[in-house]
Amino acid sequence: MRRRSLLANFARTAGVAAAATGTAATAGCLGTGSDGYEPPARVENPPRGVYRPVAAPRLRTVGVADAGAFRLALAYGPPVRFWEVVGEQTYRRAAEPDDDVHLVALAWDPETGVVLPEVGLTVEVTRDGDLVAQEAVYAMVSQGMGFHYGDNFALDGDGEYAATVAVGGLQGRRTRAFADRFGDPASHTFAFEYARTDRDALDVVRADDPGTRGALPTNPPASMPAAAIPEDPPGSRLGRARTADVTFDVRALTGRSASERVDPDADAPADAAYLAVLAHTPYNDLVLPGMGLRATVEREDGSTTERILDRTLDPALGYHYGASVDGLAAATAVRIETLTPPQVARHEGYETAFLDLDTVRVTAD
C-alpha cells in the first residue's frame, strides 16, 4: 500500500452559513455504477486562490463519542484528491485505484464546540480482528467540512469494520478554561458497516460555475462542528486584511480579558494588552491553523514592538495566534508577517490558495 505508517511524523458549532453571495450549487449523488471509482473531474487550470471546485461529496457519519476530555467523530465519503503542504510546497495526493473511502476524523471540546487542531490523530481500521490499515492521518481543510483530519483508505470489501481514532495531547498554547485540558491522549473505537452502494448513494454538491472565485457551502454532518472563527469574539477589532486569500482579523484585548490570556511566566507588565489574530478563509470564515506569524505594533511616538505570535486555543477566541503586547492601546497600526503558511493539506478549491503571503498592515480605527 502507498500509505504512510505510524512511524511517519504526526504531521463552532455545526451548520456554518452557506458560501459567498451568488454561489450556485446543486445536489445529487455519486451514482458511479461501476466497480471502480473516479473523483469528479478537476477544474482545468484553476485560478490562484479560493475557487469553486466541480463538486464536493458529503459525508456519512460513522459515530460520535466522548474520550477523555475530547469529543471524537468519524465519518467517510468517497476518495478525493488532495494536496499535502510541506513548508511552501504542495504535493498532489491522488485517489488510488484501491482506495474505497476518504475517512474524516475530528476532535473538539464538548462544552464549547471549539474544534481542536494540532492533536496528532491516528486511525486504525480492523476487520474481524485483523489489521486493514493504520495511519497518522493528514490535518487538512476542505470547503465542505473545514478543518479536519483525513486520508484515503483502502478497505477489504463490503462488511463490518472497527476504526480506532486516537488523539495525542494537544500541541500549542491553551488559555483560560482550556489551560489544563486536552494534554492527555485518548481514543475510541467505532464499529461500522461499509457498503460500496452506500458510499455511491452519498449526496454530492456540484457547482454551477466551477472554476470561478468563491466557495461551495460548508456543510459538515449535523453531528460534527465546523472549525469557523467565532461570530462575536472578545476584544476590539484593530483591522482586517487579506493576502493570498488568508483573511487576518486583528483584535486587541485589555483589562481582565487580556490578563486571563497572558502567560504568567512571560513577565508581562501589569498594563499589558493581548493581541489576537484570527486567520481564516474568505467566504466561510474557516479557521486556518498551523501558521507561523510575526506581528509588529506601531505607535504614535514612532516606537514599535515585535512579537512572534503563539498558536493558541481559547474557549471564546477559538484557535488563534496571540501574544502579550505592552502599550497596545496606543497602537496606530499592526503589521502581520507570515513566516510559515498554513501547514495543512487542502482539498480542491483550496489547493492554490494560502501560499506566498505578503506582509499586511492594518490601521487602528
Render pLDDT for 126-160 as a digit per residue (tens, 0 to 9). 999 999 999 999 999 999 999 999 999 999 999 99
pLDDT of residue 28: 54
pLDDT of residue 264: 58
Q: Residue 60 and residue 131: Cα distance in Å, rounded?
A: 22
In the sheet with 55-57, reading across from the earlier edge strand, the strands are 25-29, 203-207, 55-57
pLDDT of residue 270: 61
- Cα 175 to Cα 126, 147, 168, 264, 280: the distances in Å are 37, 21, 19, 11, 20
Dihedral through CA 140, CA 143, CA 146, CA 152, nearest 10?
-40
Render pLDDT for 288-320 as a digit per residue (tens, 0 to 9). 999 999 999 999 999 999 999 999 999 999 999
CB 141 within 8 A of CB 216: no
pLDDT of residue 20: 43
**Neighbour tally for 233: CB within 10 Å:** 17
Helix (H, G, I), strand (E, B) or coil at 234: coil
pLDDT of residue 9: 33
Q: Residue 248 and residue 87: Cα distance in Å, rounded?
A: 20
Render pLDDT for 24-64 as a digit per residue (tens, 0 to 9). 445 555 544 445 678 889 999 999 999 999 999 999 999 99
342 burial via Cβ count (<10 Å: 0-12, 13-18, 19+): buried
pLDDT of residue 4: 40
pLDDT of residue 98: 93
Amino acid at 364: A
List of domains in the chain: 25-207 (2.60.40.2480), 236-363 (2.60.40.2480)
- Cα 7 to Cα 3, 135, 253, 277, 291: the distances in Å are 11, 9, 42, 34, 24
Q: Which ranges of the chain have pLDDT less than 70?
A: 1-36, 264-271
pLDDT of residue 22: 41
pTM > 0.85: yes or no: yes
Q: Residue 319 and residue 241: Cα distance in Å, rounded?
A: 18
Helix (H, G, I), strand (E, B) or coil at 155: coil
